[in-house]
Structure formats: structure tokens, C-alpha cells
A and B are shown apart, each in its own frame.
Chain A
């Protein structure tokens, strides 16, 4: 199934010096590792442990996630438009899977 596990909202364009609001959500079960299945076997932990956002190659946001974060982690943050560049959103989970998505921000 063609999945779109990430949804991101941010403007395509911003004026130099303007504060840009960014929102992102990733589809992920955030399995805590504390639950058991219906035969009593422990369900292995699989949470997203890190989320980072780089803007023009520079890290502008980092989020350390814990097992208490609900499924499908959502975050909203802001950054300042400095120059035209690419924002790269990266999530890494316990299984080593990496989810990556990028958006261009054009600064006028």
C-alpha cells in the first residue's frame, strides 16, 4: 500500500527575518514496550527516539521522544527565515527505520 506516513505544514515562501510556523506529524505506533499481546508475550518496544529538522544543513530543532509520547507523534515549532533553503525532517525509531521528508523554503 502506498503510504504517506508524514504530513507537514509550512509556508513555501517567507520574508527574510520572518518567523515561520511549522507543524509535522508522523504515522508511527509508538509501541511502549510495556504492553503484552493476547497470549501474554511482551510486545517489543518500538518508539521514535529522535526527530531532527535541519534548515540549509543546520540543525534548527531536535526532539528526544520517550515511551510516554502517544502514537503518531505531532510537533509544532517555529524557525526564522534566513535564506532560501531546504528543511529536512528526519525521524528515527527503535528498529533503525528512518523516515525522511523535505520541503523548500523560499526567502524573499
Chain B
């Protein structure tokens, strides 16, 4: 295992010891949702719809869903009616290729394209409360549904790009996603447990941020952590990685809005 100064010497020592004492997790072991690695208290916080702070954004999203916007003065509900029916299961199928543009869309990009294409409104910036609220509201409708994305046909090149990114070493620490989230999932990294690298809980309320955040914000934090280049929110690099993560997490249930450390 590659040790680095960033991971503090204590981690390397402890991890090295654990390698002797604990059976090494097989790489093909079932991928688990992020909540699996959280404390019982945090799992309870996520499961309680009042205590889970992410539900504040879901409430906001519910009112935004019905609010007319843009030139056309159409709301999301004008076309999509009740989100609990029409949006059920949608988050579990995303990211997906948009037939019209041939581009890979995640929920954020789909919402923004709806705004520019059909509502005559401006696209919302990533991490604004409005976009987070709408994304959380749409994703929440799929809570409990199992992730299942398409990776064939037009999605194949995106999937391949994402897979490559997952296994490519990057940054000053020279680590790939897989070295933590596949080879060492379930082990300790500093004060936290390494997850399987699953995006099914996002947008999630991250305690470190004290706010809801998108998956791309989380990926940027990962990139920063290994001292690699951070790509833009909604960049093709993160979008294809998001697709790979979703395929990897096939069968895991959507938890949005999750609570994460």
C-alpha cells in the first residue's frame, strides 16, 4: 500500500497493522451505501425526516417545483405534474445520455436544461440553494429505489472514460479512486472510515460543510485530498466518473438526501 505524508504517519502504521490483523476485503465485495459506514447515531439522523437537515432543502424544492419561472412562466409541475409520481425512480437511472444533445446528463444538468430549453429561464449555478433544493427534491422521490444506469449504446464511451478515471492515479499523492474506495473500503483513513465511493445518497448534507452539497462538490473535495486538479462543477470529467460510480453502485438503494460526515 502506498503511504504518504498527507495520510499522516499514524494512519500508515495503523493501516499496516490492520492489514496483519484483519482479513483484507476482497475487491469484488458487494458495494455498500455510504450510510453503512456511519455511526448508528448518524444513521438515525439520516432516517428521521425531521432531524435530517437535508429535508429542509427537499421542502424548498417542493415549493420551487410548483413555482412558474422564465419567459414561458411554466413551473416544473406544468409539464411533470406531481413529482412523487413522475420523478419516482428517475434519480436511480441517472446519469443518462440526453437524446437531443448526445451529452451525458446528471440530475443537475437535466434540471438546468429543462430550465433553458423549456422554461426560458436561466440555468442555476451549482451549489446554489435553488439548484440543490430542486435536485434534492427530485432525488428524494427515488429514495429506496435501486440504482440502475444504462452503460450501453451512446453511454458506453462515457462509462469507459469514467472507469478509466476511477483507476488512474492522480495528484501529488499519486492515488486513484480505487486505491481508497475499492482496495481499502471499510478501513480507517484518519478519523473516518473509507466508503465504497457510492453516489446514491447525493445531494447529501455533509456535517463538515454544515450544508447540503452536490456529488461534484464531494468529488472536488476528493480531488483536493489527493492534491490533484479539481475539475469544474458539472465538468465532463466528473460527469463520466459519476456514471461509473452509479454503475459500480448498481443495486444500492437511493438515500438522498443522505447525511455524511
Verify that A and B bind, or say they do not.
yes
Chain A residues engaging chain B, CB cutoff 8 angstroms: 1-5, 7-9, 23-25, 27, 29-30, 70-72, 74, 76
B45 and chain A: residue at smallest CB distance: A74
A2 in contact with B50 (CB, 8 Å): no
Contact of A8 among B50, B64, B210, B211 (CB under 8 A): B50
Is B130 part of the binding interface, using a Cβ–Cβ cutoff of 8 Å?
A: yes
**Chain B 91-134 per-residue mask, 1 if CB under 8 angstroms from chain A, else 0:** 00000000000000000000000000000000000000110000
Shortest CB-to-CB span from B216 to chain A, Å, is: 20
B211 in contact with A7 (CB, 8 Å): no
Known pairs A2-B63, A23-B51 / 14 extra A-B pairs, C-beta < 8 Å: A1-B60, A4-B59, A4-B60, A7-B56, A9-B50, A24-B50, A25-B55, A27-B53, A70-B210, A72-B56, A72-B210, A74-B51, A74-B53, A76-B51
A1 in contact with B211 (CB, 8 Å): no
- Offer 28 A-B interface pairs, CB within 8 angstroms, sorted by A: A1-B60, A1-B64, A1-B129, A1-B130, A2-B63, A2-B64, A2-B67, A4-B63, A7-B50, A7-B56, A7-B59, A8-B50, A9-B49, A9-B50, A23-B50, A23-B51, A25-B55, A27-B53, A27-B56, A30-B210, A70-B207, A71-B53, A71-B210, A72-B53, A72-B56, A74-B51, A74-B53, A76-B51
Closest 10 CB pairs of A and B: A71-B210, A72-B53, A4-B59, A9-B50, A23-B50, A2-B63, A27-B56, A74-B51, A7-B50, A25-B50
A23 to B67: give the CA distance in the assembly, Å. 28
B67 and chain A: residue at smallest CB distance: A2
Shortest CB-to-CB span from A56 to chain B, Å, is: 23
**Across-interface contacts of A29 in B (CB, < 8 A):** 210
A27 to B210: give the CA distance in the assembly, Å. 11
**Across-interface contacts of A4 in B (CB, < 8 A):** 56, 59-60, 63
Shortest CB-to-CB span from A33 to chain B, Å, is: 15
**Across-interface contacts of A74 in B (CB, < 8 A):** 50-51, 53
**Across-interface contacts of B56 in A (CB, < 8 A):** 4-5, 7, 25, 27, 72
Interface range for B: 10 to 19
A3 to B62: give the CA distance in the assembly, Å. 10
**Across-interface contacts of B48 in A (CB, < 8 A):** 23
**Across-interface contacts of B207 in A (CB, < 8 A):** 70
Shortest CB-to-CB span from B61 to chain A, Å, is: 10
A71-B67 contact given A8-B50, A9-B50, CB 8 Å threshold? no
- Highest count of chain B CB atoms <10 Å: which of A7, A24, A30, A70: A7
**Across-interface contacts of A72 in B (CB, < 8 A):** 53, 56, 210
A73 and chain B: residue at smallest CB distance: B53
**Across-interface contacts of B51 in A (CB, < 8 A):** 23, 25, 74, 76
A76 to B207: give the CA distance in the assembly, Å. 19
A74 to B41: give the CA distance in the assembly, Å. 14
Shortest CB-to-CB span from A24 to chain B, Å, is: 7
A75 to B64: give the CA distance in the assembly, Å. 27
**Across-interface contacts of B49 in A (CB, < 8 A):** 9
A1 to B57: give the CA distance in the assembly, Å. 12
**Across-interface contacts of A24 in B (CB, < 8 A):** 50
A91 to B51: give the CA distance in the assembly, Å. 17
A104 to B227: give the CA distance in the assembly, Å. 54
A107 to B171: give the CA distance in the assembly, Å. 63
B60-82 residues at the A interface, CB under 8 angstroms? 60, 63-64, 67
